[in-house]
Chains A and B, each alone.
Chain A
Amino acid sequence: MRALSLAFKNIRANPSRSFALGSFVLISSVIFVLFNSFVFTITGNMNDALVNALSGDIQIRPAASKETDMLSMKQGWSGLPPFTEHHTGAVMDALGKEEGVQVIKRVRQSVLLTTNAGQEAALVIGLDPNSAIYQKALMLSEGRYLDPGKSNEIVISKGQAKKLKVGPGDTVEVMVALEGQVPKTRKLQVVGIGELKVFNMFGIFFAYTDLGSVQNLMGYKADEVTDVIAYLPQADAATFADRVRVSLGETTSGPRDFEVTTRDSMGGFIMGGINLYSALLYGFIAILLLIVGLLIMNLVYMIGIERRREIGTLRALGFSRGLIVVLFVSEITFIATVFSAIGVLAGGVVVKTLSTISIKPAAPLDFVMGKEFYMQFNWWQVLSPLVVISVFTLFASLLPSYQAASLRPVELMAEK
């Protein structure tokens, strides 16, 4: 252990070199913390938006429906198979056993919205307007949300309103054409125009209405719904879904009536989009780390050349190759860890400050960040760069250290 003091004495004896490396690590750590927190916030916002707008924490629907039904605009023309009243009752019984769970019955259907100005396809979601969770995902730009005391109201997206040339108070005709059936229509009054947070970029053409209106349109009975979604207080969605499956008797083999899925498994291409965004942002961090790694490797190579005679002396005295590698790696990793800690601290302060400030990004950033953006502060997101950079530095300095220590003592001692 005392031998390691040589590493620390070298740090002190070469302050400019230590500071040069440290400064680079410090700046990289600050950028890493900011990016990490940014990605964490963005993905968190996207997940929240997905859960609030579309999926809930878990979704229960007929086994005949497919995973992509939740979002697909293509296959809805033949109609999603709804639960019978009996099945809906079973689902409500199963969910009723759980405490603190908010349950929403819905009918989702692909429709055509028609006005004199034209027609627009939309995914209409009929739900109980008393359930205000959808409001969290929906930013109104005009009008209001659905009135729980009224029916035949609809909230549509800004893009649709523009194309259909309607505003609050106007009427749209909602048409559904099922395979082999005469198209059905219903007139609904536009009460609100808004945008789904974050999902604008996915081109999701939604429309919200009350459950009764869309059931009437489809000819469903009161408890015939295409799916039931549930919002959980704290519980792990996968564990909760397992319990619900057990309650519904879905654990045995044989024909199944229910499909119980969590948000992760039904997000489909939206989750793919979120993952793509995360991958792009983390790709930037990977490039940053690569640059840090190359710099560190280069620096250790240089130190190896500078200290050729010193390494040779140590080898001659009996120091093993491994011990010399440990000395080098300790020196570099110590510098990187100390400066990374300072960088992480500085980055943490910036993130903490940003978490209290409302950022209103301009277009096109608002497509990703939403109209109002609060950076989320999370200890793990702030501290993880310290661990990553320290471990990365350790590995980056291993190879050049090993190479420097692997020369024969007689080569190291030779005059150059």
Chain B
Amino acid sequence: MAIIRVHQVTKEYELGKTKVQALRGIDLGVEKGEFTTVAGASGSGKSTLLNLIGCLDYPTTGEIWVGDVKVNAMSESQLNHFRLEKIGFIFQSFNLIPVLNVYENVELPLLIMKHVSTSERQKRVKHFIEAVGLGDYARRKPDELSGGQRQRVAVARALVTQPEIVLADEPTANLDSKTGVEVIDLMHDICRKESTTFLFSTHDPKLVQRADRVIRLEDGLVNREENT
């Protein structure tokens, strides 16, 4: 069974007095452990779709299932907990906390996971900082790192909670192409090693090719799906 199932999802926004239909009835599924990309032009609905799957927003109609949980029916507090336990996020602008160093940024979500002990927390943080190749940068603040290094920190932070899925919204948009490829390869590598499901959006054809499967969006609809 697919770990992510999206069924007839629509999303309407109000932009002033105008209604914008960002998604028009999406159906898709992502299997556990897949490294999948959502590709499409700007405005095609990629970010909206990832926000809905990531429980950052509610769909206007339709159903979204993550594992065996129908997330669009959950309350806000349930979603907080669900995001913490099940979903990792990687953002286009890295979204690291500027006053925290690399170690503390990666550690941040674990601080509110009550079932993770201090020793387990330290072990996991060290493991994932090493995994993204930033072992020597643990005490540095985000403004002391390059863009690629910052995104690696974000990858480590997304993985440290050992989520079932990691969602990355245009994770390479603020990086040069070489660094972008490195970050995608890093994510792919971790996807294999940790058996974590990755779903990322991009409009860069070079990066699209590195995914196992491509879901192409156009005007809020799935245009086609293809295996690479």
**Residues of A in contact with B (beta carbons under 8 Å apart):** 2-3, 5-6, 9-10, 12-13, 309-310, 312-321, 323, 408-410, 413
* A13-B111 contact in complex given A313-B91, A316-B83, A410-B51, C-beta closer than 8 Å: no
Q: Helix, strand, loop or mixed for chain A's interface?
A: helix
Complex: A318 Cα to B98 Cα, angstroms? 18
A9 B99 Cβ-Cβ under 8 A: yes
B83 A318 Cβ-Cβ under 8 A: yes
Q: Which of A10, A314, A317 has the most CB of B within 10 A?
A: A317
Q: Which of B57, B85, B157 has the most CB of A within 10 A?
A: B57
- State whether the Cβ of B1 lies closer than 8 Å to any Cβ in chain A: no
**Contact partners of A313 in chain B: CB under 8 A:** 91, 95, 97
> Which of B95, B100, B112 touches A319 (beta carbons < 8 Å)?
B112
The 5 sampled A-B contact pairs (Cβ below 8 Å) are: A316-B56, A316-B83, A318-B83, A318-B112, A408-B56
Q: Which of B51, B99, B108, B109 has the most CB of A within 10 A?
A: B99
B111 A3 Cβ-Cβ under 8 A: yes
Complex: A318 Cα to B89 Cα, angstroms? 10
Complex: A314 Cα to B97 Cα, angstroms? 9
B91 A320 Cβ-Cβ under 8 A: no
Complex: A38 Cα to B93 Cα, angstroms? 55
**Contact partners of B228 in chain A: CB under 8 A:** none
Complex: A13 Cα to B84 Cα, angstroms? 26
A410 B57 Cβ-Cβ under 8 A: yes
- State whether the Cβ of B146 lies closer than 8 Å to any Cβ in chain A: no
**Contact partners of B83 in chain A: CB under 8 A:** 316-318
**Contact partners of B91 in chain A: CB under 8 A:** 313, 316, 413
B100 A9 Cβ-Cβ under 8 A: yes
**Residues of B in contact with A (beta carbons under 8 Å apart):** 51, 54, 56-57, 76-77, 80-81, 83-85, 89, 91, 93, 95, 97-100, 104, 108-109, 111-112, 157
* A318-B99 contact in complex given A408-B57, A410-B56, C-beta closer than 8 Å: no
* A6-B97 contact in complex given A316-B83, A316-B89, A317-B84, C-beta closer than 8 Å: yes
B93 A320 Cβ-Cβ under 8 A: no
A13 B56 Cβ-Cβ under 8 A: no
**Contact partners of A9 in chain B: CB under 8 A:** 99-100, 104
By beta carbon, the residue of chain A nearest B51 is A410
A317 B109 Cβ-Cβ under 8 A: yes
> Which of A3, A13, A309 touches B99 (beta carbons < 8 Å)?
A13
Query: A6-B108, A408-B57 given. 5 additional CB < 8 A pairs?
Result: A2-B111, A6-B99, A309-B95, A314-B108, A317-B109
A334 to chain B, nearest CB (A): 15
Complex: A275 Cα to B51 Cα, angstroms? 60
Complex: A321 Cα to B125 Cα, angstroms? 25
Complex: A66 Cα to B201 Cα, angstroms? 87
Complex: A113 Cα to B71 Cα, angstroms? 92
Complex: A316 Cα to B79 Cα, angstroms? 10
**Contact partners of A410 in chain B: CB under 8 A:** 51, 56-57
**Contact partners of A309 in chain B: CB under 8 A:** 93, 95
A248 to chain B, nearest CB (A): 65
B112 A12 Cβ-Cβ under 8 A: no
Complex: A364 Cα to B76 Cα, angstroms? 63
Complex: A316 Cα to B94 Cα, angstroms? 13
> Which of A3, A10, A408, A409 touches B112 (beta carbons < 8 Å)?
A3
By beta carbon, the residue of chain B nearest A312 is B95
B99 A316 Cβ-Cβ under 8 A: no
Complex: A313 Cα to B157 Cα, angstroms? 11
* A318-B109 contact in complex given A313-B91, A408-B56, C-beta closer than 8 Å: yes
Q: Which of B56, B76, B77, B98 has the most CB of A within 10 A?
A: B56
Complex: A413 Cα to B81 Cα, angstroms? 19
Complex: A10 Cα to B99 Cα, angstroms? 6
Complex: A413 Cα to B91 Cα, angstroms? 10
By beta carbon, the residue of chain A nearest B83 is A318
Complex: A2 Cα to B103 Cα, angstroms? 13
A303 to chain B, nearest CB (A): 13
